[in-house]
A = this chain, B = another copy of it.
Amino acid sequence: MQKKAVILFSGGLDSTTCLAIAESEGYECYALSFEYGQKHKSELDAAKQIAQFMKVKKHAIVSLGLGSLSGSALTDEKMDVMDYAGTGDIPTTYVPARNTVFLSVALGWAEVIGAFDIFIGANDVDYSGYPDCRPEYLHAFESVANLATKAGIEGTRYVIHAPLLRLTKREIIQRGMKLGVDYAATLSCYRADSEGRACGKCDSCTYRRKGFIEAGVADPTRYL
């Protein structure tokens, strides 16, 4: 039987590459996206479209009512997403405990469908300073997964895969190109418009644009 994997999947450059890697490793892929009050909802349209033509087994979009708790520029109507500043500070686009919430839901789904592999496109190089993209964090979550579940008690091990963890944006793009990823369909911008056009100026756009230049690949992003 083909091994199943749950892939955290936003429809952005990183998670789409991550999905392509999971497929190339032979997993039957269950893609998981979230509607969590993000202002850039057109990323969900991108995710749906990509999930369809990458032939995932199932694409689930789980809604999370986190808006009322959050203090992030990605969900709070009163905060603006800033242009890239390059200061190394944790940016205002940080959503509290986001990866922990996302991985938890992925773990729940994995348990239901009998998957023991969870893929996340976390990156520790061009990582914008998010604490929950570090390897020690991912290892700690793996321990939680194995203690939280019936399968963990019975001895089966959950594995959190973060295949992009040590790659630069250039390397991620090069890896994806080899796997046939169509980056024109991906959307990384934190303040894209409803048509899915990117601002070109936020952190996410800045890293992405630089990645295409360094990879020597024509940038297929549609900008505003």
Contact = CB atoms under 8 A, between A and B. Distances in A.
Contacts of A131: 147-150, 152-153
A58 to B, nearest CB: 10
A143 B149 CA distance: 17
Interface residues of A, number: 44
A61 to B, nearest CB: 8
Given A62-B65, A65-B63, A101-B101, A134 B147 contact: yes
> Within the oligomer, what is the number of copies of this chain?
2
Nearest to A133: B148
Interface string A185-211: 000000000000000000000000000
A104 B145 CA distance: 13
Contacts of A68: 60, 62
Contacts of A70: 108, 112
A64 interface: yes
Contact of A107 (B90, B96, B111): B96
A108 B65 CA distance: 12
Given A60-B68, A64-B65, A132 B147 contact: yes
